[in-house]
Amino acid sequence: MTGSNPRAEAAAPTGEATLTLDDGAVFPGFAVGEVSEAEGEVIFITAMSGYQEVLTDPSYHGQIVVFTTAHVGNYGTNPGVNQAERPQAAGVVFHELWLPPAVHWASERDLSAWLGLNGVGALTGVDTRALTLHLRTKGARNGVISRIKDPIERLRRAEAVPSMNGLDLAQRVFTKKPYKMRPPKGLFPDEAPMRVAVMDFGVKRSILDQLTSLNMDLTVWPGDAPPAAVQGEDPQGLFLANGPGDPAACDYAVKTTRHFLGKIPVFGICLGHQIMGLAAGGTTYKLPFGHHGLNHPVELVDENRVLITSQNHGFCVDPDSLPSNVRANMWNLNDQTVEGLEWSDLPAFCVQFHPEASPGPHDSRGLFQKFRRMIKEPDA
């Protein structure tokens, strides 16, 4: 499709449906298109743009995403911004889904048609302010989007959704076999590419783009790849990607991380950050409603400054559980949770937020440069 008449494919609301939470709360709305069923953990995100990047981010796998911004969909969809091959969110809830023609030159399909094409259950016309306040008060809840009229059956289905605690969702989204990504030619004509192993737990495309743009020759491994297989490629650095679910369920990833810590530089983002905390001997815990948005302030203790960051996670590292050689050097200014860790005796660091920020601010992209310097100057 060329975008010449995207409105012709728009799927208008087709009938009453509800979002039912496992605590019995019900939020009525209207189903979008023919796909009107979804189930998962219900979380809210405060981003005002980037809805396509959000819905294709594998870290949202198994979740129903509630957008707090009032109008969503006005610039349509464009495959060039996808963070994975297809949408990853289980469902999506809007206050108002934009139905007129998309107002962006790059749009190829209305958001409503895109959701239907990809089988994403969607609900519009919802009081998302009331829903967000409920989730802030009660915490993230499991829920279902459904046309089912019987409230008892809807509640039964919501209560049957598996808890995120102890749930390994990374295995559902990471690659099943290794693949390569080469750096663009000509950017570093006098430098050989650096060999970096990427442990895929649900890696975003924009993260891989950031790494290759810094002359890193990537081998992207399944998250459960044996350490010996990864070591066989003789990597100069190890990157631990983002991903969904409970980090404590990813024991295979913790094992691989422990194998490489101290051997080569290690950098982790989001789930990768939590796995590095576990590999150090720490513990993780579930946040009440998580951090999901593009405007979270993070304090850099050593630099006496604040970054505005893009975030998407429901679990956090407990700073009191960490050994003496691992220090929390970044903190979330909203709730004082850990946002960054650094090893005093090893070339290793990690951050809870997304420095590639697609979409979002670019304040923290220098962290990729830090990883590059660790590889290039191992004795610095």
Backbone angles phi, psi at 162, to 5 degrees: -60, 145
Give me the helix-helix angle, 251-260 and 271-279, nearest 10°. 70
C-alpha–C-alpha distance, residues 231 and 225, integer Å: 10
- Residues with Cβ within 8 Å of 75's Cβ and at least 6 positions away in sequence, in order, are 102, 103, 104, 107
Which residue type does 277 have? Answer: G
Q: Is 270 a catalytic residue?
A: yes
Q: Which one, of 122, 24, 33, lies nearest residue 72 by Cα?
A: 122
Backbone angles phi, psi at 30, to 5 degrees: -130, 135
Q: Is 356 a catalytic residue?
A: yes
- Of 53, 61, 134, 270, which residue is the catalytic one? 270
Alpha helices in 124-270 (DSSP H): 128-138, 151-159, 170-173, 205-213, 227-231, 251-260
- Of 39, 53, 299, 356, which residue is the catalytic one? 356
CA 4 to mean position of chain CA atoms: 32
Question: By the 8 A CB rule, do 32 and 124 touch?
Answer: yes
Q: Which residues are identified as catalytic?
A: 270, 354, 356
